[in-house]
Structure 1
């Protein structure tokens, strides 16, 4: 039985931001194990733009594919067998969302309860995913320790800024890599000990110079492609590369300056397990309490009708931090 409708972002073909459209869709009441969420804000991620363009690791179901996996909002109703969530709860969407059928870019959405979690105090915008990715990639997968140097590519992105703050919080030394020097001050304010503009400087040489030719213990890479092998030359012997993004769609080249470790990190692998989610949320909560985690919002767009503008900004790479679309009801 239909209880309400939802303004929902859809696309019928892959392409640029202009393929996005908004349609009023009937919304069923939540069934067993489901919740109805009134969306208050959307967090844009690079995965959203790649999915829309047909460049993500799985393809959209066309026509009328949905989009997006990160939102915050209020639970309006719960289905049978949902015990841990109640109407009125402030929540975030979490792992396990298949964007074509469950995409959260809408003003209301029905989701499996397992894809929703209570919103941590202090996260008033959609930034949980950035800190969970930074924690899981740097600490659990990369094994980052106090005193280690870590090279963070795409450092002005939401995850990049969270990674700078996460590394600095544990006493590691974050080295930010960005295309130009225009964002240096903002990146230093987020904890970067060194900012390297890749358009004008040799990243490996600068890391070597900064570490007195010792090299970094970890590379946290959002780009992938052939550049990963080049970046690995900035590592110490037995260093580690963690690749969590594929901004460069060319095949990743395996580094040959062995010994070293190379890992691919997917946040859902950690946050879809109860123990992993518990550790992630404990770490984020502690950083918010002591003030070392300071979510950086690049820009806020008002209303779902601005979704195309938000996608354009994401693809321009002109922002620092998280892009948010705030909804009104």
Structure 2
């Protein structure tokens, strides 16, 4: 029996429990992993608080650990390999968070040796999201200015690093002035504190009136008007989340007048495409090797404190990834 994170009803972090579960052997095209660290994502909280057809449900998309068993028709792995998981499957089909996890072999990668278990569990979701949106989709180039709302999130910090790696100018947006110094230390060229500064005015100052070519937004809501207002003519707004509880209104005349592109993005479009995923993984591994990409970890919790880990996620006060360690 293994300790597995489960929940029997949707709700807040308190619905999560650790239960003793018999984890099945890996089937065809699957690998069983003895986990060492788990990455906690906003998508986990959305799953936990949403509506599911069946209970109990497991949870989790990201983890690192060691290959414990290999199913039929799986090549390239041996028992004991250090691996981590790419989010490219439904967590309700493959619940990852627990001491043992069965995953499709297509989601399993051998991460760079330089990474700790905690860093490996904090790698793929955030960097694949930032790479897919900024490099693959927006074709971010040297000299481009990119606006990054919710910049202290794990994806926001990854976006800062990805932008820096191609020579672009990352401008971080945050609601908290207390995070300004930390975001500058993490590589932001400038920080705009929303609610205290006018976003459009400040971005125009930073870009000599040209505006930002790329906006990378997980929030939506009324603040979308600030992003389109601060956008350069021909700019691209990439929406990859809906953190705002308020309605999102599209500034139609501004969008038309500036010939803006408003594009929805989800990382699963990238991670479920074998060829695109390989290019992205190689790009990220190279960035880690060159030390231009470095996972930022906010807080590490032990597995028995999984509820506290989710509470930290929902506090909005974190800077970087929340990780849960699994005892051996």
TM-score norm. by structure 2 comes to 0.93
Q: Deviations over 1:250-304 (max 9, x none)?
A: 44333422211111111121122222122112211221122211221101112x1
Following superposition, the deviation at residue 99 of structure 1 comes to 1.6
1:141 maps to 137
Following superposition, the deviation at residue 95 of structure 1 comes to 3.1
User: Alpha carbons of 1:92 and 1:47: their partners in 2 closer, same or farther (altered >3 Å)?
Assistant: same
Following superposition, the deviation at residue 30 of structure 1 comes to 1.1
Following superposition, the deviation at residue 66 of structure 1 comes to 1.0
Q: Aligned equivalents of 2:218 and 2:93: distance in 1?
A: 26
Q: Aligned equivalents of 2:172 and 2:233: distance in 1?
A: 21
Of residues 265-274 and 308-317 in structure 1, the stretch that sits farther from structure 2 once superposed is 265-274
For residue 157 of structure 2, the aligned residue among 154, 161, 165 is 161
Conservation of the 8 A alpha-carbon contact between 1:13 and 1:62? no
Unmatched 5+ residue regions in structure 1? none
1:98 maps to 90
Q: Aligned equivalents of 1:309 and 1:61: distance in 2?
A: 26
SS at match of 1:226: helix
Summarize the alignment of residues 1-329 of structure 1 with structure 2, pairs less than 5 Å apart: 5-54=1-50, 59-124=51-116, 125=119, 126=121, 127-256=123-252, 257=254, 258=256, 259-302=259-302, 304-329=303-328
Unmatched 5+ residue regions in structure 2? none
SS at match of 2:187: coil
Q: How many residues align?
A: 320
Q: Aligned equivalents of 1:86 and 1:6: distance in 2?
A: 22
TM-score norm. by structure 1 comes to 0.93
Conservation of the 8 A alpha-carbon contact between 2:211 and 2:232? yes
User: Alpha carbons of 1:111 and 1:294: their partners in 2 closer, same or farther (altered >3 Å)?
Assistant: closer
Conservation of the 8 A alpha-carbon contact between 1:180 and 1:200? no
Conservation of the 8 A alpha-carbon contact between 1:10 and 1:23? yes
SS at match of 2:158: helix
Conservation of the 8 A alpha-carbon contact between 1:61 and 1:100? no
Q: What is the Cα-based RMSD across aligned positions, in Å?
A: 1.4
Following superposition, the deviation at residue 134 of structure 1 comes to 0.9
SS at match of 1:204: helix
Conservation of the 8 A alpha-carbon contact between 2:7 and 2:55? yes
Q: Aligned equivalents of 1:164 and 1:111: distance in 2?
A: 30
Conservation of the 8 A alpha-carbon contact between 1:141 and 1:263? no
User: Alpha carbons of 1:34 and 1:133: their partners in 2 closer, same or farther (altered >3 Å)?
Assistant: same
Conservation of the 8 A alpha-carbon contact between 1:153 and 1:176? yes
Following superposition, the deviation at residue 172 of structure 1 comes to 0.5
